[in-house]
Amino acid sequence: MAKSGFRCILKRSLIAFCVLAQSSFSLAHVPQLVLYYPDWQIYQKASPVLSELAIDNATHLVYAFLAVCGPVTHSSENIQQLMEKRCAGKPIGHVVVLDEHAALKANLRGNTSHQTYYRGNFGQLKYLKEQNPDLTIIASIGGWTLSEPFHTVTANQQYQANMIRSIRALLKKYPFFGGVQINWEYPGGYGLSGLGLNERESEKQGYTQLLHGVRAELDKLGNEMLSSYELSITYNASQKHRGSIDWPKVSPLLSTVYLMSYDYHGPWRNIVGHHTNLHETPLTPEGLSVSSQVQHLLEQSIPATKILIGSPFYGRGWKGVDNVSENNLEALTAKEIDGLSSSLTESGFIRYNDLSQHFLGNEENGFVYFYDQQAEAAVLYNPASKDYITFESPRSAKAKATYVNQQQLGGMFIWEVTADHQNQLLDAISSGLESSPQ
């Protein structure tokens, strides 16, 4: 939830007063700024560790990802081996820290809490919470690679109970966490495993049941700990995913909904266009845009203040794209779907820090910068090599933040914060969120 204009002291004698006070006054809207940190970034020497992040303006930090035990037959061999090891002797549905070295054992530079026995990312998360008591740290469970078990867990009440109990145990063991996020990609199908398309209605019901159980357990634990715990989910609002969640039943259970407002287009097919445009234009393929997807969520009666939109700190690219001009940046066709990349494993994926350092403002590389004012989206294009890159720029990021304020949305989240360069995107978002609603 967005921060309020005052804070309640969580003592038993004052809980009732706090509830009354919050329901009796109109509080100023303060949007959230949420930073994702992937656990694997510690293996990149040039990447900042948790205690080095610029979190002055952040309200939340999401740690990605924890895993839930269950079948992962469609994941990589490495993931299958890790899951087999970590889930040995544990029931289906049990939530585990998949990379224990990264989370608990690694000796990292920067600052680690002296008030705990563990090191690694969790030791630095604890340090951040000690230094920033108002920062809410969320454990995200799932993600693209680790979502397959949800298809199994939501189909069985015992597996759901196992998951709920283990979430409770996780929060008690690592009290710096202030909530959990269920990052299932995706209920009702179209995920990595290809499962769910034939079980959409049953998965919708199972997901609702799981979220009810998690919310009830978080409330129970909150009463015991004199605290409160957030519950959020991620959601892809593209047309093929609509109808996969029972919003009337689910929305009241959630603190926030993380709208995955990016990857509208990419090198998995040869249709070229903006991958995270704020608005659609007459040229926009399939009419995909952040604002249209926000409108879809509002039509499901989800309160605006629960909706967070995403800002991707990366671009998507293609090769062999012709006919690009200032007025022709969408609905193009690529001759090759393999584009320039920062990744050894993912073609056409370029981190913003690479774009900023090596492409933007560097005339020698031959790329021209375009900005689509109507769509609020940035493009880099090389007329000689025919390389096209759609990406989040400081200007487009600030436009989204300003939109959040104008629409009184819950805020913005960033995937992911280590891909920034000299805080260029983060500063642009902070500036936009701080501006007064128009």
Tokens of 242: 């609509």
Q: Mind giving me the DSSP string for 1-62?
A: -PPPSS-----GGGHHHHHHHHHHS-PPP--EEEEEEEGGGGGSTTSPPGGGS--TT-SEEE
356 vs 66, 160, 173, 422, CA distance in Å? 31, 44, 40, 9
Total domains in the chain come to: 1
Range of the domain at 281: 12-313+392-434
Tell me the C-alpha distance between 131 and 231, whole Å: 23
Which residues 6+ apart lie within 8 Å of 435 measured at CB? 401, 402, 405
Residue 171, SS3 per DSSP: helix
The CATH number given to whatever domain includes residue 419 is: 3.20.20.80
Q: What is the DSSP letter of 436?
A: P
- Sign, Cα dihedral of 409, 411, 415, 419: positive
Tell me the C-alpha distance between 329 and 322, whole Å: 10
Q: Helix 290-299 crosses helix 394-407 at what angle (to 10 degrees)?
A: 20
Tell me the C-alpha distance between 87 and 72, whole Å: 11
pLDDT of residue 436: 59
Decide if 114 is inside a domain. Answer: yes
254 vs 14, 200, 303, 342, 428, CA distance in Å? 24, 21, 11, 35, 28
Decide if 413 is inside a domain. Answer: yes
Residue with tokens 């970590």: 86
Decide if 333 is inside a domain. Answer: no
Residue with tokens 């280590």: 418
Q: In sequence order, what are the beta bridge partners of 258? A: 234, 308
Q: What is the DSSP letter of 194?
A: -
Tell me the C-alpha distance between 413 and 230, whole Å: 15
Decide if 164 is inside a domain. Answer: yes
**pLDDT tens track, the chain, 438 positions:** 333 333 343 333 333 334 333 433 445 778 999 999 999 999 999 999 999 999 999 999 999 999 999 999 999 999 999 999 999 999 999 999 999 999 999 999 999 999 999 999 999 999 999 999 999 999 999 999 999 999 999 999 999 999 999 999 999 999 999 999 999 999 999 999 999 999 999 999 999 999 999 999 999 999 999 999 999 999 999 999 999 999 999 999 999 999 999 999 999 999 999 999 999 999 999 999 999 999 999 999 999 999 999 999 999 999 999 999 999 999 999 998 888 888 877 889 999 999 999 999 887 899 999 999 999 999 999 999 999 999 999 999 999 999 999 999 999 999 999 999 999 999 999 999 987 554
Decide if 385 is inside a domain. Answer: no
Decide if 335 is inside a domain. Answer: no
Decide if 34 is inside a domain. Answer: yes
pLDDT of residue 363: 79
pLDDT of residue 341: 85
pLDDT, tens digit (0-9, with 9 covering 90-100), for 90-114: 999 999 999 999 999 999 999 999 9
The four Cα atoms 149, 153, 159, 161 give a dihedral, to 10 degrees, of 120
Decide if 171 is inside a domain. Answer: yes
